[in-house]
Structure 1
Amino acid sequence: MRDILPDLRSRCADGVPLALATVVAVHGSAPRDPGAVMAVDAAGTVVGSVSGGCVEGDLYEVAREVLAGAGPRVVSYGISDDEAFGVGLTCGGTIEVLVRAYVSAAELADLAALLDLIADDRPVAEATVLSGAAETGVRLVIRPSDAGPATGTLGSEGLDAAVTDDARGLLAQGHTTTQWYGAHGQRRMQEVAVFIRTYAPPPRMLVFGAIDHAAATARIGSFLGYRVTVCDARPAFATRERFPTADEVVRAWPHTYLESTEVDARTVICVLTHDPKFDVPLLLAALRTPAAYIGVMGSRRTHHDRLARLREAGAEEAALARLASPVGLDLGARTPEET
C-alpha cells in the first residue's frame, strides 16, 4: 500500500471511486506477499501490482465489475501445466486476492482516514472479512489501545472485540495474516475468515558518526525500508549534503540524542563514532534500550579495549553480550558499501 499511497490519497481527495485488489493469501511461490495492492479507478487507470504482471489483466476486469456494483469478492489465481502462459502464476504458486470497491463519499472518507494514518507513520491495522458467516468486505480499523477505539464493524460486537484484540497484538509484531473466528468472535472456530493487514511505522536505523561508512549505511538502510537518522556532534560533518538519503540528520552529542529519542524492539543502532569519548557514553545509553541490534565499528583489539572501558563504567556482562563488533560482515571488504 505504501508504494501507491500518494495516488490513492489523491483519488480519495478528488472523490474518484476506485477498487482495491489486495493479496490476502499466498500458497507456494508468488511474486508479492499478502498486503500487496493494485488499484483501479473509475477512469480505468491502474496503479500498483499484485503479481508482477501475471494476473493483472484478469484482475483488472474483476475490479471493473466490482466498481460497477458486483460486490466485493475473493478471487484465486494458480497454475496448471496447460495454462502456464495464460491467466496464472508462472512461478507455480497460488494467490488469493480480495477485490473491494470504494464508491460513496462515506466509503472514500473512511479509506482516506486510513491512508492519512499510514502516511503519518501512525500504527494502524485494517481487518476485512473474506468469507463465512459475516459479510465479505466489511472493515474494522484498529489503532493501539492508547490511540482510541476501533472504527467500523464486522457485524458483531463479539467478533469486533476478538479481532481488535488480535489485531493489536499483530500490530505490535508488524505481522499481517488471516485469522479464523466463530460468528461472534469465538476462538478456535472457522466460521469467519478475517484478513488483518498491519501498517506499522518503518523501523528506525540510528547511525552515529558522520563518516563515509555512515553514508553507505544510510543508503543501504533507506533502501531496505528503514527510517534512517544520522547523528554527529560536529556541524561540519553532520550535513544534509553528506547524507541525502537519510530521513534525518541530527547535530547533537550522540548519547544525549539517543536518550531523548524513541527506541523500540525493531530499532537498529549502528555506532560508527570510533572514539572512546563518544562510544562509551553512547553505548551505555544504547544498552539501556530494547533495540533489536547494536553494532559497533572497530577492530577486535579496539572492541576489546572498548569492553574494558564499559566494564569500568558499570556495564554488566549480559548487556555487553548484546554488542555486535566488528560491525558488518567479514567479506574481505575494502569499500564502505561492501563493509
Structure 2
Amino acid sequence: MLNIADTLHRWCREERPFALATVVKVRGSAPLPVGTSVAVDEDGNAVGSISGGCVEGAVYELCRQVLDDRGAPQRARFGYSDDDAFAVGLTCGGELDVLVQRVDPGTRPYLATALADVVEGRPAAVAQVVEGPEELLGGMLCVDAAGGIRHGPLTGVLRREVGAQAWSLLRAGRTARAEVGGDAETCPERLSVLVHVHASRPRMLIFGAVDFAAALSQAGRFLGYQVTVCDARPVFATAARFPHADEIVVDWPHRYLEQAEVDTRTAVCVLTHDAKFDIPLLRLALGLPVGYVGAMGSRRTHDERLRLLSEAGVPEGQLARLRSPIGLDLGARTPEETAISITAEIVSRTNRATGLPLSALAGPIHAGTSS
C-alpha cells in the first residue's frame, strides 16, 4: 500500500472511506511485487496499479463491491487461463492473490499517522493480516522508526508478536510476509501478516572523486540510494563536480568509513585504484556488515590488491566478498556505461540473482517474488 501513500494519506486526512486491494501473494512471474496496492474511494476515484493493466478492471469492480457492501474483506486470485485467452488474468503467466478490504480512516487513526511518516520520509511499517480468522483479516498494526507500536485491532501477546516481526523487517528495509500464532500463547489459529515497509534510503558510498564516480553517483541517485562521494583531495571532491551526490566528504576514505552509518543495504564502491587509499579502506569495509563491496582496477591491480590485503591480515572469507574488478561484463568503456555495469552488479547481488541474460534462463523471470 505504500506505493500510493500520498493519496491514501490525503484520503485519511479527509476521512474519506476507500477500498484497498493489495497483492498478498505471488506465484511465478508477475509484473509487480507483494505489497503493491490499488485503492478506490466512494466517488469511484482510483489510484495505483497491481498488474500493469492486466486485471485492473476486475480489481476496480471488486473494490467498488466491497465499498458498497461494507462487509468483510474478500480474497481473489488472478492467473493466466490456457482455456480462454481473453479471460481476466495475467498475460505473464503468473498468479496473484489479492486481498480487498474497506478502510474507514476515522476508525484507523494509527494508519494516517504511519502514512504521514512515509510521506514525510520517515521510516515506518504497516503490518496487515492477510490470512487468519475472519475477525482479524485485514487488521493492521503500525510501527514507527523507534520500534513503537501504534494501536490497532491486535491485542496482547499477538500484538507484541506482530509488532516484533514488523520492527525486524523495518530494520532490514524489506517488505515481506511473516507467520505468527498457531499456539496457545499467541493465537490458536496461525496468522499470515504482510508487513509493508518504508525504510530510510540505502546508502551508496563512493570513494574516489573521479569521472566514473560522477556517473555512478547519478546512477545511484536514480536507483534511490543516498549517495556519498568521499576523497581526501579537496580540489577534486567538490559539489560542482558531483551535482547528483547527496553528500561530498573531504577525508581519508578509511577514516570516513570508520564513523559512517552502514547496514546490510549499503553499497561500498572503491574507484581510486590507489593502494595508499584502497588497502586501509577495503581492509575495514570487508569486515563491516555491508551488502556490497566493489573495487575498480585491472585484473593485475586486483591480484596485487588481494596480496596486500592478505598481508594486512584480511581473512579469506572476507576477501571472497570483494567484487573486483567491479561491475558486470557489459563491455563498458565510458563512465556512464561503467556506472550501469556497476549498478547492474549491485542490483544483481542485492536480489541474489544470476546477472545472466533472461533469455538464457528458464522459469519465472520474477522468481524471487514467489511465496
TM-score range, shorter chain: 0.7 to 0.9
Compute the displacement of 1:142 (Å): 3.4
How much has 1:14 moved relative to structure 2?
4.2
Q: 2:98 is matched with which residue?
A: 97
Q: Which residue is 1:275 aligned to? A: 274
Structure 1 residues 183, 276: closer, same or farther in 2, change over 3 A?
closer
- SS of the equivalent of 1:87 reads coil
Question: Deviation of residue 181 (structure 1)?
Answer: 3.2
Q: Deviations over 1:131-155 (max 9, x none)?
A: 42543211122357xx244223454
Q: How has the CA–CA distance of structure 1 residues 245 and 38 changed in structure 2, closer, same or farther, with 3 Å as cutoff?
A: farther
| AA partner of residue 60 (structure 1) | Y
Where does residue 112 of structure 1 map in the other structure? 112
Instruction: Report the Cα distance in structure 1 between the residues aligned to 2:2 and 2:139, rounded to whole angstroms.
Output: 22
Deviates more, 1:20-29 or 1:246-255: 246-255
Tell me what 1:140 maps to.
Answer: 141
Cα distance in structure 2, aligned partners of 1:327 and 1:55: 41
Secondary structure of 2:141 counterpart: strand
Calculate the TM-score normalised by the size of structure 2.
Answer: 0.77
5+ long unaligned stretches in structure 1: none
Judged with a 3 Å threshold, the aligned counterparts in structure 2 of structure 1 residues 58 and 242 are, in CA distance, closer, same or farther, namely: farther
The separation in 2 between residues aligned to 1:242 and 1:5, in whole angstroms, is 35
- Cα deviation 1:293-322 (Å, max 9, x = unaligned): 211111122233334444555544543343
Structure 1 outlier segments of 4+, above 6 Å: none
Cα deviation, residue 263, structure 1: 1.1
Deviation at 1:213, TM superposition (A): 1.5
Counterpart contact for 1:210–1:238, Cα < 8 Å: yes
Paired letter, 1:137 = G
**Structure 1 counterpart SS, 2:29:** coil
Partner of 2:297: 298
Question: SS in structure 1 opposite 2:217?
Answer: helix
SS of the residue 1:229 aligns to:
strand
- Residues 1:33 and 2:58 aligned together: no
The structural deviation recorded for 1:5 is 3.1
What secondary structure, in the 3-state scheme, does the structure 1 residue paired with 2:284 have?
helix
Aligned CA RMSD, in angstroms, stands at: 3.1
Relative to structure 2, which stretch is displaced further, 233-242 or 98-107?
A: 233-242
Q: How far apart are the structure 1 equivalents of 2:272 and 2:13?
A: 46
- In the alignment, which residue of structure 1 is the partner of 2:11? 11
TM alignment of 1:315-326, pairs within 5 A: 315-326=314-325
Asked if the contact 1:98–1:130 (Cα under 8 Å) also holds between the matched residues in 2, the reply is no
1:159 aligned onto 2:164: no
TM-score (norm 1): 0.83
Moved more, 294-303 or 126-135: 126-135
Which residue identity does 1:181 align to in structure 2? G
CA contact (8 A) 1:129 1:154 kept: no
Asked if the contact 1:127/1:167 (under 8 Å) is kept, the reply is: no
Provide the residue aligned with 1:59 in structure 2. Answer: 59
> Which structure is richer in relative contact order (CA contacts within 8 A, separation 6 or more)?
2
Equivalent position SS for 1:132: coil
SS at match of 2:40: strand
